[in-house]
Structure 1
Amino acid sequence: MSDSDSRPAPAPAAGIAAARMIIGLLQGVAGYGLWRLLADDPAPWLLRNPKGFTLLCLLVAFLPLTVLLGLGHLRRRVLAGWVLTAGVVIVLMGSHDLRQNSSGGLAEPSLQLMLSLLPMLFVAHNLVAAADASRHWWPGYGACFEAAWRSAIQLLLGIAFVAAFWAVYRLGASLFQVIGIGWLDRLAEEAPFVIVVTTTVGAAALHLADAQDRLTRGVRILGLTLLGWLTPLLAGLTTCFLLALPFTGLTPLWETGYGGPLLMTAAATLVVLINAVHQDGHAGALPLLRWSARLACWVLPVLVALAAWGLWLRIGQYGLTRNRVISVAVVLVLACYAVPYALAALRPRMRLLEPANIAVAGIAVLVVLGLNTPLADPNRLAVNSQVARLLDGKVPVEAFDFRFLQDFSRRYGRRALQALTQHPDPAIATAARRQAEPPPDSVVETPSRPRLVPYPAEAEIPPGIVASMQGQSAFCRITDCVATPVDLEGNGQRAWLVGPAGQSFLVFQQMEGEWRRTGSFNTGNCGREVAAGILAGELRLLPPRWQEVEVAGRRLPPSGYTPYCD
Structure 2
Amino acid sequence: VLPWMQYQLHSQTGSARYPQFYLRLWHNVLTLFIVLVANGLFWLVLLLWSALFRLVGIRFFSTLFFETEAFIYVTIGLITALAVILARTQSRLVAAVQKLLTLIATGLLPVVSLLALLFIVTLPFTGLEAISARVSAAGLLSTLTLMLLLLVAIVNEPQKRVLPYPRVLRGMISVSLCVAPIYMLLAGWALWVRIQQYGWTPDRLYGALTVSVLLVWSFGYLIGLLRRGRDPGEWQGKVILSVSLLTLVILLLLASPVLDVWRISVNSHMARYHSGKITADQISLYMLDHSGKLGQEALKSLRDDEAFTQNRKRNRELMTFLQRNKVSPTADDLARVVMIAPGSQKPDAAFWAFVKEQSYSGASCLEPDACVLVSQDLNGDGQPEQVLYNFIVAESQVYGLKEGKWTQKAFARLPDGFSKTQLLHAIAGHQLDSAPKAWRDIIVDGQRLDVDYYNE
Same fold (TM over 0.5): yes
Contact 1:406 1:435 (C-alpha < 8 Å) held by counterparts:
no
Matched AA of 1:275: A
Which residue of structure 2 lines up, in the alignment, with residue 156 of structure 1? 33
Report Cα offsets for 1:258-306 as digits up to 9, x if no partner: 2121111111111211112212343764234644442332121011000
Which residue of structure 1 lines up, in the alignment, with residue 116 of structure 2? 238
* Aligned partner of 1:447 among 313, 326, 338: 326
* Aligned partner of 2:293 among 402, 406, 411: 411
Asked if residue 128 in structure 1 is aligned to residue 128 in structure 2, the reply is no
**Pairing 1:542-561 to 2, within 5 Å after superposition:** none
Which residue of structure 2 lines up, in the alignment, with residue 401 of structure 1? 283
TM-score, normalised by the number of residues in structure 2: 0.64
* Aligned partner of 2:155 among 268, 273, 277: 277
Distance 1:181 1:134, change over 3 A: same
Which residue of structure 2 lines up, in the alignment, with residue 460 of structure 1? 350
* Aligned partner of 1:261 among 133, 136, 139: 139
Which residue of structure 2 lines up, in the alignment, with residue 203 of structure 1? 81
Report the Cα distance in structure 2 between the residues aligned to 1:349 and 1:408, rounded to whole angstroms.
47
Report Cα offsets for 1:361-390 as digits up to 9, x if no partner: 121122223233321122211222222222
Query: Structure 1: any 5+ residue segments left out of the alignment?
Result: 1-123, 470-475, 481-530, 539-566
Matched AA of 1:216: V
Asked if residue 370 in structure 1 is aligned to residue 253 in structure 2, the reply is yes
Which residue of structure 1 lines up, in the alignment, with residue 178 of structure 2? 298
Asked if residue 427 in structure 1 is aligned to residue 300 in structure 2, the reply is no
Give SS of 1:320's match. Answer: coil
Distance 1:403 1:176, change over 3 A: closer
Note the C-alpha offset of 1:318. Answer: 2.3
Report Cα offsets for 1:119-156 as digits up to 9, x if no partner: xxxxx1222112322279x9811121111111111111
Give SS of 1:345's match. Answer: helix
Matched AA of 2:291: S
Report Cα offsets for 1:195-219 as digits up to 9, x if no partner: 3123212211111111111111111
Note the C-alpha offset of 1:158. Answer: 1.7
Contact 2:327 2:363 (C-alpha < 8 Å) held by counterparts:
no
Note the C-alpha offset of 1:255. Answer: 2.6
Note the C-alpha offset of 1:418. Answer: 3.7
Note the C-alpha offset of 1:222. Answer: 1.2
**Relative contact order (C-alpha < 8 Å, sep 6+): which is higher?**
1
Report Cα offsets for 1:447-473 as digits up to 9, x if no partner: 34489999x97563899xx9xx9xxxx
Distance 1:249 1:211, change over 3 A: same
Report Cα offsets for 1:391-434 as digits up to 9, x if no partner: 33333x444416256424332223234446667xx536867994
Contact 2:323 2:361 (C-alpha < 8 Å) held by counterparts:
no
Distance 1:271 1:178, change over 3 A: same
* Aligned partner of 2:236 among 353, 364, 385: 353
Note the C-alpha offset of 1:335. Answer: 1.2
Report the Cα distance in structure 1 between the residues aligned to 2:215 and 2:119, rounded to whole angstroms.
20
Pairwise CA RMSD: 4.4
Report the Cα distance in structure 1 between the residues aligned to 2:62 and 2:319, rounded to whole angstroms.
51
Distance 1:130 1:171, change over 3 A: same
Report the Cα distance in structure 1 between the residues aligned to 2:302 and 2:54, rounded to whole angstroms.
65
Asked if residue 438 in structure 1 is aligned to residue 319 in structure 2, the reply is yes
Distance 1:375 1:443, change over 3 A: closer
Distance 1:448 1:127, change over 3 A: farther
Report the Cα distance in structure 2 between the residues aligned to 1:176 and 1:410, rounded to whole angstroms.
44
* Aligned partner of 1:142 among 5, 12, 19: 19
Give SS of 1:230's match. Answer: helix
Note the C-alpha offset of 1:350. Answer: 4.2
Report the Cα distance in structure 1 between the residues aligned to 2:157 and 2:347, rounded to whole angstroms.
70
Report the Cα distance in structure 2 between the residues aligned to 1:303 and 1:532, rounded to whole angstroms.
60
Report the Cα distance in structure 1 between the residues aligned to 2:324 and 2:274, rounded to whole angstroms.
33
Report the Cα distance in structure 2 between the residues aligned to 1:181 and 1:414, rounded to whole angstroms.
48
Distance 1:173 1:299, change over 3 A: same
Give SS of 1:370's match. Answer: helix
Report Cα offsets for 1:507-533 as digits up to 9, x if no partner: xxxxxxxxxxxxxxxxxxxxxxxx999
Report Cα offsets for 1:54-106 as digits up to 9, x if no partner: xxxxxxxxxxxxxxxxxxxxxxxxxxxxxxxxxxxxxxxxxxxxxxxxxxxxx
Report Cα offsets for 1:205-237 as digits up to 9, x if no partner: 111111111111111111022112211111111
Report Cα offsets for 1:308-328 as digits up to 9, x if no partner: 011112222222222211211
* Aligned partner of 1:335 among 215, 233, 238: 215
- Shifted more, 312-321 versus 184-193: the winner is 184-193
- Shifted more, 210-219 versus 183-192: the winner is 183-192
Distance 1:479 1:265, change over 3 A: farther
Give SS of 2:258's match. Answer: coil
Distance 1:412 1:146, change over 3 A: same
Matched AA of 1:125: L
Distance 1:393 1:177, change over 3 A: closer
TM-score, normalised by the number of residues in structure 1: 0.53
* Aligned partner of 2:409 among 536, 544, 548: 536
Q: Quick one: percent identity of the two aligned structures?
A: 25
Distance 1:337 1:188, change over 3 A: same
Matched AA of 2:295: G
**Pairing 1:306-345 to 2, within 5 Å after superposition:** 306-345=186-225
* Aligned partner of 1:388 among 271, 274, 278: 271
Matched AA of 1:322: P
Distance 1:151 1:232, change over 3 A: same
Give SS of 1:394's match. Answer: coil
Report the Cα distance in structure 1 between the residues aligned to 2:33 and 2:40, rounded to whole angstroms.
11
**Pairing 1:159-170 to 2, within 5 Å after superposition:** 159-168=36-45
Give SS of 1:356's match. Answer: helix
